[in-house]
């Protein structure tokens, strides 16, 4: 079984190391030795430290390597949309199996890869693209195929989870916590993809596609990052017995016309400290899956890093190698449900709103009237302070996002509302 390895960076170098260290076991498990036919990189002269591999295997001609007749499986751990898409489409169309960790490409244009796999009758595996080492996509795509998944809620970005966990533990603000994450190597020099939620949105699209048998792309995902989460928000959450997490939430349900549809969003939200996702700290990932027959399932582990990600890549390599040797294909893309994505305005969410208000009679009634006008039901109200410290904390019941947003907009315009200190969504039954 001959592999073309495209990329030899953080993940690729660990794939090389694991293939070498576990060669005997892998041969026994697959039923044939797995050999590296070539390794494509961008810079031939880069110092890669001691790698257990013949230097003559390195090339900068990735496409040439993919096209070689002696390659059975193409493993792409380069990242980005192009040229990775061209390489994978070429491999799959020509009947080679492909393994990739490329969430950005799968979320933007996974359809092209799946179409190429169907055309070439080839396997496409991508376990490492979501939640690193955690076996998650295989359970969604195989183990749960007899069930109906209703909701997937996940912490799928380690950097933002580290930052929010630090803010929760120390009371630090976002900037301070980001600095700590950068110093410790949890955040990249340019953290935009993580802190603005792009990385989590890509993963949300992949999860929603698999869970709901529909093609969902990154563009379908409502996305908000964590840059606006303040120390005051974290303190408000604590006062409610909650913590703040960047959640990816994909759910299935009726749209405003009653038709079956999916809602996919990524945003910070308060969750009760008793929720299983609340205890997921540091840079760990966890995904909570709800299915009609199975009930609640929780997947937890390391979501990134060379070695954990390489573990998932190796698992895929073993799977595709076995399939090739026994002349079978993995289940192909399942998109028969073809569900539309509901606009964010129709998503049913709950809000926690903290208002600085004038200290005078009738304020509560006026504020409550605004909620009633937008048909948003109030679950709890907490009133505290006097004079310049007077504040109201309102937590709503579930309501369409558009109604909640309109309520906040109208509250902002009231002269009795001095400022809106924080608006956060609440998830998980607090």
Which residues here bind ligand NAP, judged by CB under 6 A? 7-12, 40-43, 46, 62, 77-79, 83, 101-103, 128, 132, 304-305, 309
Q: In whole angstroms, how close is the CB of 409 to ligand NAP at the nearest point?
A: 37
Whether 53 and 76 have beta carbons less than 8 Å apart is answered as no
Q: In whole angstroms, how close is the CB of 417 to ligand NAP at the nearest point?
A: 43
Q: In whole angstroms, how close is the CB of 42 to ligand NAP at the nearest point?
A: 4
Cis peptide before 281 (omega within 30 of 0): no
CA 102-214-87 angle, 5° bins: 30
Identity of the residue, 128 or 144, whose beta carbon is nearer to ligand NAP in the bound complex: 128
The 10 Å CB-count burial string (b at 16+, else e) for 17-53 is bbbeeeeeebeeebeeebebbbbbbeeeeeebeebeb
Identity of the residue, 316 or 401, whose beta carbon is nearer to ligand NAP in the bound complex: 316
Whether 213 and 337 have beta carbons less than 8 Å apart is answered as yes
Residue with CB nearest ligand NAP? 9
Q: What CA–CA distance (Å, rounded) separates 216 from 406?
A: 27
203 is catalytic: yes
Q: Can you name the residues that pair with 155 across neighbouring β-strands?
A: 286
Q: Can you name the residues that pair with 254 across neighbouring β-strands?
A: 260
- Helix (H) or strand (E) segment spanning residue 310: helix 306-325
- Best CA proximity match to 57, nearest among 98, 95, 19, 101: 19
> For 143, which DSSP code?
I
- Dmax over CA atoms of the chain, in Å, equals 82
Identity of the residue, 91 or 430, whose beta carbon is nearer to ligand NAP in the bound complex: 91
277's tokens: 């996702």
Total count of residues recorded for the chain: 430
Half-sphere exposure at residue 285, Cβ-oriented, CA atoms within 13 angstroms: 27
- Best CA proximity match to 118, nearest among 107, 110, 126: 110
Which residue among 67, 96, 103, 203 is the active-site one?
203
Q: In whole angstroms, how close is the CB of 299 to ligand NAP at the nearest point?
A: 15
Q: In whole angstroms, how close is the CB of 36 to ligand NAP at the nearest point?
A: 14
Q: In whole angstroms, how close is the CB of 302 to ligand NAP at the nearest point?
A: 9
419's tokens: 């400022």
The catalytic site residues sit at 203
């Amino acid at each position: 079984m001959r592999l073309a390895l495209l990329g030899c960076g953080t993940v690729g170098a660990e794939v090389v190391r694991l293939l070498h260290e576990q060669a005997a076991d892998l041969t026994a498990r697959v039923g044939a030795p797995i050999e590296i036919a070539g390794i494509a990189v961008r810079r031939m002269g880069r110092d890669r430290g001691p790698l257990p591999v013949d230097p003559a295997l390195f090339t900068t001609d990735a496409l040439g390597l993919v096209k070689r007749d002696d390659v059975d499986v193409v493993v792409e751990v380069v990242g980005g949309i192009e040229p990775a898409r061209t390489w994978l489409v070429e491999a799959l169309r020509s009947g080679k199996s492909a393994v990739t960790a490329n969430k950005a490409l799968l979320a933007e244009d996974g359809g092209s890869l799946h179409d190429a796999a169907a055309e070439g009758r080839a396997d496409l595996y991508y376990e490492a693209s979501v939640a690193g080492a955690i076996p998650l996509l295989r359970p969604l795509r195989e183990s749960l195929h007899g069930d109906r998944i209703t909701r997937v809620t996940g912490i799928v970005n380690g950097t933002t989870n580290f930052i929010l966990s630090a803010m929760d533990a120390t009371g630090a603000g976002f900037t301070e916590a980001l600095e700590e994450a950068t110093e410790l190597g949890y955040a990249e020099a340019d953290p935009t993809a993580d802190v603005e939620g792009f990385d989590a949105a890509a993963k949300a699209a992949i999860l929603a596609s698999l869970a709901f048998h529909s093609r969902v792309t990154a563009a379908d995902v409502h996305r908000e990052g964590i840059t606006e989460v303040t120390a005051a928000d974290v303190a408000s959450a604590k006062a409610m017995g909650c913590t703040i997490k960047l959640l990816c939430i994909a759910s299935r349900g009726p749209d405003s016309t009653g038709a079956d549809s999916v809602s996919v969003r990524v945003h910070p939200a308060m969750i009760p400290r008793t929720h299983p996702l609340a205890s997921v700290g540091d840079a760990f990932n966890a995904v909570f899956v709800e299915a009609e027959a199975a009930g609640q399932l929780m997947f937890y582990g390391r979501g990134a890093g060379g070695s954990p990600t390489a573990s998932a890549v190796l698992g895929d390599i073993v799977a595709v190698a076995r399939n090739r040797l026994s002349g079978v294909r993995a289940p192909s893309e399942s998109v028969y449900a073809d569900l539309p994505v509901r606009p964010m305005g129709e998503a049913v969410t709950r809000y926690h709103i903290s208002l600085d208000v004038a200290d005078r009679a009738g304020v509560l009634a006026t504020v409550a009237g605004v909620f009633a006008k937008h048909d948003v039901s109030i679950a709890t109200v907490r009133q505290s302070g006097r004079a310049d410290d007077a504040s109201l904390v309102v937590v709503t019941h579930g309501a369409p996002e558009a109604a909640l947003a309109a309520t906040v907009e109208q509250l902002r315009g009231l002269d009795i509302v001095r400022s809106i200190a924080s608006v956060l969504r609440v998830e998980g039954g607090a």
